[in-house]
Structure 1
Amino acid sequence: MTQHSIEHARGSGGDRPQRHTYGAVSRGRLQYAQVYEDPLLEIEALQPGPGRSLAIVSSGGCTALSLLAAGAERVVAVDNNTTQNDLVELKLAAVASLGSKSASEFLGAFPSSTADRWDVYRDVLRSQLSDVARRYWDAHPSAVRDGLLGAGAAERFSAAAAAGIRLAVHPRARIARMLSCRTLEEQRDLYRREWDTPRWRALFPLLFGRWTFRGSFWGPEVHAAARSGAFADHFRQRFERSLTAMPITTNYFLHFMFAGRYPDGALGGLPPYLSSDGCAALASRRARLELADGTFTAYLQAQPSASIHGFSISNIAEWLPASAIDPLFSEIARTAAPGARLCFRNLLGWTDVPPAWRGTFVPRAESATMFDRDRSTIQRRFVVCDVQPPG
C-alpha cells in the first residue's frame, strides 16, 4: 500500500452500514476470517439485483459482500457471534475505501508491511467503524498487522496444517509447482507422479480424526463419523477433486491454504468482493449492508412477512439443536417474498428440510451440478430451494 493510496482513501468513508442487535448475542473468538464457500454459487442461485433483499449468514463476510457487490438492493449479514460482524465491518471499510490492490494487501491476500497495515487501520479505516467494532480491533492489533484473512481460528488451524505439510509431506518447491500449473493435465500429472503419496494419504486421518472433533460442540453423529474415518475420506476426496478436476489458477481457497496468499494476476483469482469491479461497487453501496447481531431466527422474527427475496444460511442447520430447526424454516417461509430462494450447505453433516415444510422448500434440480463448480475444497453439499407460498 502506497502513501498515495492512503491519502486517496482518507476521508472517503461514505455511509456506514447500519448495525442492530436481535435478542441475545455472544462475544466469541473470531472463528472464520474467510468463508470457505464459493460465493459464485450464491450469486447464481440468489440472483442479486435491484429490488432484491437478501439475508445471509455473516461468517467471514465474503459471501455477503460479494452478493452486495453483485448488485443486491440490500444485504443483511447475520451472526450470533458479534466478532464476526466486527470483521465484516472492517472488511467493508477496507474494500470500499482502498480499492482492490490496496485492500487485498491490507487484508492479507498479498504481502504488505505489518506497520503499513496498522497505519491504514488507524489513519483511514478506524473512524469508519461502529464503536463496538472499533473497540474490538483496537484490542487486537496483531490480527490487523498480520492480515485479517489469517486471523480466525479456522485459518490458524489451516496454517498449522500447511506448515506440517511443508515439513513432512510436500516441500515448498513441489507446492509451488502445483500452484503454478496452467492446465488440468499438468495438475493431474503432478498429482499422480508426486503428490498422491502415502504420507499425503496418511495426513487426513491425523487432521480429521477423532481428536479434531472432540468436545461437546460436536454432536454424537460427528463423533461417530470421525471415529470411523468418514471425515478423513471425505476431505481427502475433496482435496483430490480440487487438485485434479478444477483449475488451480483461480482457486484462491487452495492458494491461501498452501501458500498463505491469493493467486496474483489470475482473472477470477480473487473473491468477487475484492475484485476491481467489486470494490468499486461496494464503495457506492456500503449503506445497503446491514449487520445483524443475533441468531438468524431472531433476526427473521423481527422482519415483515414476504419481505426477503433470498436466504443463505450456510451450514448452520448442522450445529443448531434439533428444536431450533423447525422455527428457522418457519420464519424463512413467513418472511420469503414471492419467488424467493433459500441456499444451504453441508460441511460435516446432512441437512434435510423438516417434513412439515417440504412442500414449501422445493430443491432445484441444478443444485448438484452447481456444486460441481464449487472451488471451496471442503464443502460436502450445496442445495438451492425455491420457496413456495404455504398451502
Structure 2
Amino acid sequence: MNTHLIADAVRNSRSRDESTVWDKLFAFWFRRLVYTQIWEDPEADLAALQLPVGSTIVTISSGGCNALSYLTARPAQVFAVDLNEAHLSLLKLKLAGLRAFANYADFWQFFGEGADEANAELYRNKLRPLLDPEAREFWDKRNLLARPRHAYFTDGFYRHGVLGRFIGMAHILAKLARIDLAALLDDNREAPKRVEALARLDRLFHSALARFITRTPALLFSLGIPPQQRDLLGGNSPLNQVLHERLLKLINVHPNDTNYFAWQALSRRYPGPGDTCLPPYLQAGQFARMRGGAGLVIPVHANLRVFLESLPANQIDAVVLLDSQDWMAPDEIRALWNAIDRTGSERVRVIFRTAGADSPLEGDELASLREVWRRDEARSAIGFSRDRSGIYGGFHCYGRV
C-alpha cells in the first residue's frame, strides 16, 4: 500500500515540519479498512445529479457501495478512485462477487448478511480466483491469530473495519447506559420505549465521558474524521452536542424501515434481503443490472486530481467528491476544480458533502472558481433533504456558470 499518498493527502498541503502528530497518526490509521459501508446516500446523489443515460462518472470509491449503486442510472462508465487500497480491495471483491454469483441468494449471503461460515469456501473457490494480486493479498492476509481477512464475512462483516469496531464500542457504552438501541429503530415516535431510549441517549451525549471522547482527536479517527475535519464539524458548538444532533437526524427524519444507515448505526447489519432497506447494489431487484454492469465500474488507485489530469478533455459528466475537500487546503481545491473543468463535459455536475454547512467554494479564497462554477441551490437542497445518513452538515451540487 502506498502510504505516502495518504500521508500527503492528510497533511493538507502543509510541509512535513508543519504536519501535526495527529495528522501523522491519522494517515497511519487511515491505511486500514475504515468503512465496510459508505455513509453517503447514493439515492440522494442520483436525485441531485439527474444524470442522463450513458453518462461517465468519476467518484471517490470508499467501500464501493455507491460506485456500484450508480449503475442504476445506466451510465457508460464509473471510475472509482481512491488512495486507500483496502477500500479498493473491497470494491474489487464486490465486483468479483457479481461476476461469480449467478443468483442473488449467494450475493446476499456473502455481502449483505456477511455472517455465514460457508462464505469462507465461497471466497476460496469463487471469488479469490477472480481477484488481482493486490486484492488477493489483502483478503488473504492473516492476523496474529492466523485468521485471514476474508473470514470477516463469516462472523458479521459489518462488525469489522475501523468504523464497525468503533460503533461496537459505542454500543457497549449504550448498554452500560441502559439505552435500548432496538427501540430507536421504532418508527412510532411516541412509543414509550423509544421515548425513554432517546432520553437516556441525551444524557449519555451530554455526559463528562462524551465530552472527553469528543475532545480527543485520536478517538474520532475511528469515525474517519481527520484533524482538519474535526474543527469544521464542531464549528462554534461542542462536538458532543453536534454529534448528538447528527445522530438524531439519522434516526428521526426518515422512516427507519427504509433507512439502512440507521440500521448500520444501531445494529451493524441490514434488516434482511429484498428491496426496501438496502443500498441499491444489494437490492434483489437490482441484481441483474449490477451483474450486467459490473464491467463498467473501474477501480483506480490514485490521487483523484492526478487521475482527472490523466484523462482526455471534456470526458466526464459527473464527479462525486464525498467529503474530501474538508481535508484540503485552498490551493489543492483550486487545482482539483481546474482539473474537473478541463476533464468535464459541458453538462458536468459535481457533488460533495461537508462536515459543516458551508461550501469551501463560497469563501473569499476560492472566489475565482465562482467565475466558472455555480452552486445549484435547488439540486443541493434535493440532495440534502434526501440524504438518509444525516451525518453531514452540507450537501452541494455545482454546475458550470
1:12 equivalent in structure 2: none
- 2:254 alignment partner, one of 246, 257, 264: 246
| Displacement after TM superposition at 1:327 (Å) | 0.5
| Displacement after TM superposition at 1:358 (Å) | 0.9
- 1:318–1:351 contact (8 Å) kept in structure 2: no
In structure 1, runs of 5+ residues without a counterpart are 1-20
Note closer, same or farther for the CA distance 1:120–1:147 as it changes in structure 2 (3 Å cut): farther
| Displacement after TM superposition at 1:190 (Å) | 4.5
1:358 equivalent in structure 2: 370
TM-score (norm 1): 0.82
Amino acid in structure 2 at the alignment position of 1:197 = A
Within a 5 Å distance, the mapping from 1:190-229 to structure 2 comes to 190=192, 193-203=195-205, 205-206=210-211, 209-212=214-217, 218-219=226-227, 222-223=230-231, 229=237
CA deviations on 1:296-327 (whole Å, 9 max, x unpaired) are 10100100111000000000001123431111
Paired residue secondary structure (1:386) = strand
Within a 5 Å distance, the mapping from 1:1-391 to structure 2 comes to 25=5, 28-98=31-101, 99-107=103-111, 109-110=112-113, 112-113=115-116, 115-139=117-141, 140-171=149-180, 175-179=181-185, 181=186, 183=187, 186-190=188-192, 193-203=195-205, 205-206=210-211, 209-212=214-217, 218-219=226-227, 222-223=230-231, 229-264=237-272, 267-347=275-355, 350-353=358-361, 354-366=366-378, 367-388=380-401
Q: Matches of 1:111 and 1:290 in 2, distance apart?
A: 24
| Displacement after TM superposition at 1:35 (Å) | 0.7
Greater percentage in helix? 2
Q: Matches of 1:350 and 1:156 in 2, distance apart?
A: 30
- 1:55–1:78 contact (8 Å) kept in structure 2: yes
Note closer, same or farther for the CA distance 1:149–1:111 as it changes in structure 2 (3 Å cut): closer
Q: Matches of 1:351 and 1:308 in 2, distance apart?
A: 22
Note closer, same or farther for the CA distance 1:272–1:221 as it changes in structure 2 (3 Å cut): closer
- 1:22–1:298 contact (8 Å) kept in structure 2: no
Q: Matches of 2:32 and 2:228 in 1, distance apart?
A: 24
- 2:349–2:399 contact (8 Å) kept in structure 1: yes
Paired residue secondary structure (2:119) = helix
Q: How many residues align?
A: 359
> Higher mean Cα deviation, 200-209 or 36-45?
200-209
Q: Matches of 1:31 and 1:347 in 2, distance apart?
A: 18
Q: Matches of 2:308 and 2:47 in 1, distance apart?
A: 23
CA deviations on 1:142-179 (whole Å, 9 max, x unpaired) are 334334434321221112112321232413xxx33332
In structure 2, runs of 5+ residues without a counterpart are 7-29, 142-148
Paired residue secondary structure (2:170) = helix
Paired residue secondary structure (1:372) = helix
| Displacement after TM superposition at 1:230 (Å) | 3.2
Q: Matches of 1:63 and 1:224 in 2, distance apart?
A: 24
Note closer, same or farther for the CA distance 1:93–1:207 as it changes in structure 2 (3 Å cut): farther
TM-score (norm 2): 0.80
| Displacement after TM superposition at 1:349 (Å) | 7.7
What RMSD over aligned residues (CA atoms) do the two structures have, in Å? 2.9
- 1:43–1:70 contact (8 Å) kept in structure 2: yes
Note closer, same or farther for the CA distance 1:220–1:292 as it changes in structure 2 (3 Å cut): closer
| Displacement after TM superposition at 1:127 (Å) | 1.2
Q: Matches of 1:62 and 1:221 in 2, distance apart?
A: 23
Q: Matches of 2:371 and 2:191 in 1, distance apart?
A: 47
| Displacement after TM superposition at 1:345 (Å) | 0.4
